[in-house]
Amino acid sequence: MKTRTMMWSDISALPSRCLWRATLFAVALALVGAPQIRAQSAPTANVASPSFEVASIKLSKTARGFVVGFFTYPGGKIIASACTLKYLMMEAFDVRSYQVTGGPGWINDDRYDIIAIPPASSRSSKLNPPYPKVPPNAEQRQMLQMLLEDRFQLRFHRVSKEGPVYVLVRGNRDLKLQDAENKDDFPWAGSIGGGAIMGDGIAGKNISMPQLSARLSGYLDRPVVDQTGLKGSYDFKYEYSTDESTFDVVSCIFASVQGIGLKLKAAKGPVETIIIDHVERPSEN
């Protein structure tokens, strides 16, 4: 189903708020079953899939180095600011950067501003997220997939095969996790200083163990599977210092995770990859 064109002049200005290093966030994958490989194609034309009522795509005028942003708003509207196609695919398919392969170099370089609104008949049109950083729901992700297929002529297939993963478990130390003080806080975990590299320790606010696993996956470039058995959401903070001459991101993460009473173990499990078969630059509107 084609989306109806919205004139750029009809759309309100983009917000200045941006996601903190959104590309570092990851999705925990389930550790299941025996090794297997499967391939899937993009939905065929005769399968009815949800799509946006209106959508606008333009090359971003934002200066290089600007942190990308992907936001959700009441009524199901989404706004993507200075996002590459690869990042848009990460949002559309709920995967991380290392799970998208193929395609020309511009999918990592060209940045786009997108505003899209679902039809009033959709479930997403009834949404009222408490803050713009709330991730898109399944229907919004399907709509974004359809938009990429329509406007970017995206064609792809999926492959899932056994690969290296990490398992997050409880360690031998006392847990340094406190029940979240504010259950309405945006779930977050990352570097204490808010930097792109977790070299000074780890902190978290109102975050569950599956969500923490997803965050760690982005830093470690492989799936992290939650097997802690811990329920609920937590606040925590653990400072870690290291000699800059021997700094190693993975070692810092492992030490920081151990500092809050957890542990990362290497394992094998299914890793899904989305392979780009064809893609084109979109015409603007």
* φ, ψ at 190 (rounded to 5°): 170, -155
Same domain, 202 and 151: no
User: Which of 97, 128, 158 is at the close of a domain?
Assistant: 158
| pTM of the shown model | 0.74
Summarize pLDDT for 111-152 with one digit per residue, the tens. Answer: 999 999 999 999 999 999 988 888 999 999 999 999 999 999
Same domain, 146 and 197: no
Question: 277 lies in a domain?
Answer: no
Task: Give the three-state DSSP class for 264.
Answer: strand
Same domain, 65 and 135: yes
Task: Give the three-state DSSP class for 176.
Answer: coil
Question: 281 lies in a domain?
Answer: no
Domain range enclosing 56: 4-158
Same domain, 130 and 106: yes
Question: 279 lies in a domain?
Answer: no
> How many other CB atoms sit within 10 Å of the CB of residue 185?
14
Question: 284 lies in a domain?
Answer: no
What Å distances lie between residue 5 and 57, 115, 212, CA to CA? 9, 11, 39
Question: 32 lies in a domain?
Answer: yes
**Residue 20's pLDDT is what?**
33
Burial tier of 152 (Cβ tally within 10 Å: 0-12, 13-18, 19+)? buried
Same domain, 133 and 251: no
**Residue 254's pLDDT is what?**
93
Same domain, 109 and 172: no
Give dist(CA 262, CA 168) in Å, integer: 7
Domain count of the fold of the chain: 2
Pairing of β 155-170 and β 224-226: parallel
- Inter-residue contact 279 to 105 (CB < 8 Å): no
Low-confidence ranges of the chain (pLDDT < 70): 1-48, 63-67, 193-199, 242-247
User: Which of 110, 131, 158 is at the close of a domain?
Assistant: 158
